[in-house]
Chain A
Amino acid sequence: MNAPHDVDFGTPRVGPGDTVMLEIDGLPVSVPVGTSLLRAAAEAGVMIPKLCATDFLKPFGSCRLCLVEIEGRKGYPSSCTTPVEAGMKVRTQSPQLAKLRRNVMELYISDHPLDCLTCAANGNCELQTMAGVVGLREVRYGKGEPTPGENHFSDVVKDESNPYFSYDPGKCIVCNLCVRACEEQQGTFALTIAGRGFGSRVTAGQGESFLASDCVSCGACVQVCPTATLMEKSIIDKGQAERSVTTTCAYCGVGCGLRAELKGNEVVRMVPWKDGRANEGHACVKGRFAWGYATHPDRITKPMIRAKISDPWREVSWDEALSHAAAEFRRIQQQHGRNSIGGIVSSRCTNEEDYLVQKLVRTAFGNNNVDTCARVCHSPTGYGLKQTLGESAGTQTFKSVEMADVIVVIGANPSDAHPVFASRLKRRLREGARLIVIDPRAIDLVSSPHVRAEYHLQLRPGTNVAVLTALAHVIVTEGQVDQPFVAERCEAKAFADWREFVARPANSPEALAAASGVLATELRAAARLYATGGNAAIYYGLGVTEHSQGSTAVIAIANLAMATGNVGREGVGVNPLRGQNNVQGSCDMGSFPHELPGYRHVSDTPTRESFEREWGVSIQAEPGLRIPNMFDAALDGSFLGLYCQGEDPAQSDPNTHHVVAALSAMECVVVQDLFLNETAKYAHVFLPGASFLEKDGTFTNAERRISRVRRVMPPLSGKADWEVTMALANALGYAMHYEHPSQIMDEIARLTPTFAGVSYDKLERVGSLQWPCNDAAPEGTPTMHVDSFVRGKGRFLITQYVPTDEKVTRRFPLLLTTGRVLSQYNVGAQTRRTANTDFYGADLLEIHPHDAEERGIRDGDRVGIESRAGTTTLPATLTERVQPGVVYTTFHFPESGANVITTDNSDWATNCPEYKVTAVQVSRLVGA
């Protein structure tokens, strides 16, 4: 339910638009046309009693508490379902209304347990509150007469199957809020009301337990429940919160606003923040519930050092650990040169922390050997969008999807990896938008309740560029280019070259069908829909970027958007769905070895000089090493020291054998993390990290939205990550001093034109800001490239399809591709340490029944997977989600070693690894 201090206006906001004047309890009220009386009253400060209404959901008119009287009209209409009209005179209180409400409440309470003092909702129960509001003083009915409150479900067993919340049908008032939240807000349709009359009750699926049903544990039903029927187990266990802190989720790139509810310094509940613009009051199973890792016993809270990676760890003071790390880094540089060490920035850390690490590398280390884990996910997005549109970022807000008529999802699985955005997207699809999915695997969006893709182009892994170029071929050759847009907004010669290229017969759907496996007729129809179906928006993910042609595919997407005029307004655009919470931010903060903050090349003298003046050092004008280059250089002996903050390349990077060999070859590896991760096995210094709950800062999500991260509890180790980096810089002899991350943001704003207008004060005032935020756009920029592209004219680039070197052979006849599941997150360091393992406790290999049969593999068999890079084993699951010839797995569990088998093949422009295409053989293990 809503927290006590949240105002619930009862029905969703309407407008903006024309307004009407009316009178409520004698007060003049002006609201947009279409507003409900319930909301109009609430906005005027008149709170009409209600039980089945919330401003998250459409009005339902079931509880009969929000009745009002309207002058000149008969009866007592429910205010939630009655829209305002000009001149209405409304009364919300009268003796007759009071009597009606008391009678309604009496009926509710007659079938509700009267255990309020021991109920988990006590102190935050809307039913209890409403009983008080309407002045209920007696209950004359009930099954247990003359003892009311003996509920007819009192003998029904509670459903405790979900690890995070319980379902007690005995407390249900059948208000339908949970059912509606599951439908309207989440879009899963897992809940319904079963039975009739007194037998009515909420049920998950076909009477299954919540855990066994289609429920995705987003928590929306729990959030709206006005009683303790659906209740967080943490609240049942610990009681209601005493205070709350608003912050930003540290999981995926949606960047949901959350409110951490606390008793003292202990989080007892995490709820979506109603005013968070990225999520608008919704959350998923990770952000809503999977925060327990922050206080997991595995947390390392003391610094540790060791001379050799074969030695045991020794706990030391912060001073000793930092002095040791600094001395080792300096020793290596003296022996092997200034460029022999570097750092890795984390996309999970805050902007301020990312900024400080790159600053440390460029100042205290004196080189540009800094890179971010975005290298291995969305670096092609940065390159491709910069080259074509002029800025390394997505073009829209998430809310923009509400204006889209055609939605293309390519190489992304939003309902698993970006679930809160997926809920918005599915809502738009239910309203009639049309969907094209381009993916080797039948993701949930292809066919799920109330959602069906009109076209699913089920391409072979590694052929994105072929399909995207063929789509362009159809658009050009069938005359569907938006000529006025292209003429006005794009470079003429580049467009002419591109048009001539894509129009070639070799780029037709028919010519490329053999490579891609996509039927030409389907592809042509999809292209026509994209080009002519109205506002068309493309959403893409790592299935686009993590390829040898990842950057080419991003360019091809931008080409399509420009050619059809689908850039520069709401409902359209190019939308990279970022994997981690601060991928966008870490890239913005100059974490790449060739770019200073704001995507400005290190060779740009005026930019470099501005940083040199601020930092008081000379900055190298040459690019440094990327992460894969660092590992290659380690093996040839020219890179021997690494400061790795919040990242686990030994598990997350491809070709584990290669990464481990490189880490083992280094002389000083400093790992800063929450846990002793896989990389820490090869570390010499371990510096305890701080979770997002333990520090202040900002994250920037996939829509360029900068949101505050606020300290919820003190750092378990005593230091936030930015303080550790600062201390390391000082130990290295480079003076850094900040009292608070707000000062770091002030420095970022001074040096970075796109952040010039960002400050903590402004973020407090407006909630969040989408960059660019500066004098030209003081309140930020929701939609980019509105009147012109950031680079001036949009630039088409030729996208020749080049097959990957990772080819199938007789020895490796299948293509492995990878992805995520809803309940786990990346390498699982966080989610594996929560009850999310109840939903997904091990990685599985999806294999088509035909391929399984050929190999004698049955569902559940343990199978061996061999690639050119290595071998591993996984349990097999047979499914037609994957096509014959393709197998699929997740990479959440280190023991499954998914990256032991991925190769070091990478994107041509950025070295982003080609995780999505690995030629493998799969075989049933003997004895399995």
Chain B
Amino acid sequence: MKPDTLIRMANQIGAFFEAMPDREQAVMDIASHLRRTWDPRMRTQLMDTLGGPDEAKLKAVVRDAVKALGQSGAVP
């Protein structure tokens, strides 16, 4: 899938959760939402943006969530 599509979708998710008062919780909620509702191939493609030129397109809170997704066991 197009990275821009995935980034846009992820940032939309981030826009909902970043309004929460607890940023750490928001990061985990974003990661959990991605884990529970996105097909693995979509998550993999999103994680592949980290370290590349597209990473800057991710909201900061989403970037942290995507990083958490990549850490084994970090996201329930």
List the interface of chain A (C-beta within 8 A of B).
Answer: 339, 369, 497, 500-501, 548-549, 551-552, 593-594, 601, 603, 622-626, 629, 632-633, 635-636, 638, 798-800, 802, 805, 906, 908-911
Contacts and interface: CB of A to CB of B under 8 A. Distances in A.
Contact of A622 (B1, B20, B40): B40
A802 B15 contact: yes
Contact of A908 (B2, B13, B40): B13
Contacts of A906: 9
A800 B36 contact: no
Q: Which 6 A-B pairs have the closest CB atoms?
A: A800-B19, A908-B12, A632-B1, A625-B39, A802-B15, A798-B19
Interface in B13-43: 13, 15-16, 19-21, 33, 36-42
24 contacts: A339-B39, A339-B41, A501-B19, A548-B12, A549-B16, A552-B16, A594-B37, A622-B39, A623-B37, A623-B40, A625-B39, A626-B39, A632-B1, A635-B1, A636-B2, A798-B20, A799-B19, A800-B16, A800-B19, A802-B12, A805-B8, A908-B9, A908-B13, A908-B15
A594 B37 CA distance: 6
Given A601-B36, A638-B41, 14 more contacts: A339-B39, A369-B39, A603-B36, A623-B37, A623-B38, A623-B40, A625-B42, A632-B2, A633-B41, A798-B19, A799-B19, A802-B15, A909-B13, A909-B37
B3 to A, nearest CB: 11
Contacts of B1: 629, 632-633, 635-636
Interface of B: 1-2, 5, 8-9, 12-13, 15-16, 19-21, 33, 36-42
Contacts of A802: 12, 15-16
A889 B62 CA distance: 37
A908 B36 contact: no
A626 B42 CA distance: 11
A32 B39 CA distance: 59
B37 to A, nearest CB: 5
Contacts of B39: 339, 369, 593, 622-626, 629, 633
Contacts, number: 64
Contact of B5 (A549, A632, A800, A909): A632
A37 B17 CA distance: 62
B51 to A, nearest CB: 21
Among B5, B33, B37, the most chain A Cβ lie within 10 Å of the Cβ of: B37
Contact of A623 (B9, B13, B36): B36
Contact of A497 (B15, B20, B42): B20
Q: Which of B2, B8, B41 has the most CB of A within 10 A?
A: B41
A799 B17 CA distance: 9
A909 B16 contact: yes
Contacts of B16: 549, 551-552, 800, 802, 908-909
A626 B38 CA distance: 8
A744 to B, nearest CB: 27
The residue among B5, B39, B41 with the most chain A CB atoms within 10 A of its own CB is B39
A179 B4 CA distance: 60
Contacts of B2: 632, 636
User: Which of A622, A633, A638 has the most C-beta atoms of chain B within 10 angstroms of its own C-beta?
Assistant: A622
Contacts of A551: 16
Contacts of B12: 548, 802, 908
B19 to A, nearest CB: 4
B59 to A, nearest CB: 12
Contacts of B9: 906, 908, 911
Contacts of A624: 39
B28 to A, nearest CB: 15
Contacts of B20: 497, 798
B15 A800 contact: yes
A443 B14 CA distance: 34
B19 A629 contact: no
Contact of B36 (A369, A594, A635, A798): A594
A858 B41 CA distance: 51
Nearest to B76: A603
Contacts of A623: 36-40
A497 B23 CA distance: 13
B20 to A, nearest CB: 6
Contacts of A339: 39, 41
A497 B5 contact: no
Nearest to B10: A908
A636 B37 CA distance: 20
A718 B16 CA distance: 50
A799 B40 CA distance: 28
A805 B5 CA distance: 13
For B2, B5, B16, B20, the residue with the greatest tally of chain A CB atoms inside 10 Å of its CB is B16
A727 to B, nearest CB: 28
B19 A909 contact: no
Contacts of A635: 1
A593 B8 CA distance: 21
Nearest to A601: B36
Nearest to A911: B9
A552 B15 CA distance: 11
A548 B16 CA distance: 11
Nearest to A593: B39
A624 B9 CA distance: 16
A700 to B, nearest CB: 23
Contacts of B36: 594, 601, 603, 623
Contacts of B8: 805
B33 A909 contact: yes
Nearest to B41: A638
A512 to B, nearest CB: 15
A624 to B, nearest CB: 6
B29 to A, nearest CB: 10
A603 B37 CA distance: 11
A638 B39 CA distance: 12
A629 B33 CA distance: 16
Nearest to A383: B37
A497 B16 CA distance: 15
A449 B9 CA distance: 45
A909 B32 CA distance: 12
Nearest to B45: A636
B11 to A, nearest CB: 9
